Amino acid sequence: MTVGILALQGAFAEHGAMLDRLGAEHFEIRQRKDLDHPFDALILPGGESTVMAKLLHESGMFEIIREKIRSGMPVYGTCAGLILLAKEVEDNPACLGTMDIRVKRNAYGRQLGSFYTEQEFKGIGTIPMSFIRAPYIEKIYENTEILAQADGKIVAARQENQLVTAFHPEVNDDTRVHQYFLNMIR
């Protein structure tokens, strides 16, 4: 099993380190030809969603990746990656739009943009959650399951092959969310 990690920008290296700890093979996707490498699942990291969306379009990878997700490839989006997957985003219309969620970007305001908490994640238990200029999910539609909430806001969800978290498990020392994603692939 091989996981492709989108490495155009942002926090992709940390996801690779997590997968190393779990013994999962992975490689970085930087340009269109990297998509020729066979892979079974995809990680869209945190970073800046507007920049990533632009680079996805410019590199010619946008349609290919969207098609892979639509045809069922397991995908995990953290933070900006979550924004990229959302069908409805106020101020970034260039997203992949494969997941039936409405997202608010930079949703906690300047002061509270980055914070740490520990909350329940369905099927896993209480996990550390680091938020960095994070979005939250304002609304989910049918077929989408809420997996975690923090402060009354939805911060993790799943729709079939698509998993998203508004927080960054890759920056904490807890591999359980990545393990959850690997279980989705098997």
Respond yes or no: is residue 170 known to be catalytic. Answer: yes
Report how far residue 113's alpha carbon sits from residue 104's, in angstroms, rounded to the nearest whole number: 12
Respond yes or no: is residue 95 known to be catalytic. Answer: no
Among 79, 138, 142, 160, the active-site one is 79
46 vs 169 by CB, closer to ligand GLN = 46
25 vs 116 by CB, closer to ligand GLN = 116
Among 15, 26, 168, 178, the active-site one is 168
Report how far residue 118's alpha carbon sits from residue 125's, in angstroms, rounded to the nearest whole number: 10
- Shortest CB 132 distance to ligand GLN, Å: 4
106 vs 183 by CB, closer to ligand GLN = 106
Q: Torsions phi, psi of 68, nearest 5?
A: -60, -45
- Shortest CB 186 distance to ligand GLN, Å: 27
Under 8 Å between Cβ of 166 and 156: yes
Residue closest to 69 by CA, chosen among 84, 55, 58, 80? 84
- Shortest CB 167 distance to ligand GLN, Å: 9
Among 14, 95, 170, 178, the active-site one is 170
- Shortest CB 61 distance to ligand GLN, Å: 18
Under 8 Å between Cβ of 98 and 81: no
Respond yes or no: is residue 138 known to be catalytic. Answer: no
Residue closest to 114 by CA, chosen among 92, 135, 88, 94? 135
Q: Angle, nearest 10°, between helix axes 62-70 and 49-58?
A: 100
HSE at residue 185, side-chain half, CA atoms within 13 A, is 20
Under 8 Å between Cβ of 56 and 97: no
24 vs 103 by CB, closer to ligand GLN = 103
Residues forming contacts to ligand GLN in the complex (CB under 6 A) are 46-49, 79-80, 83, 105-106, 132-133
Query: Which residues are catalytically annotated?
Result: 79, 168, 170
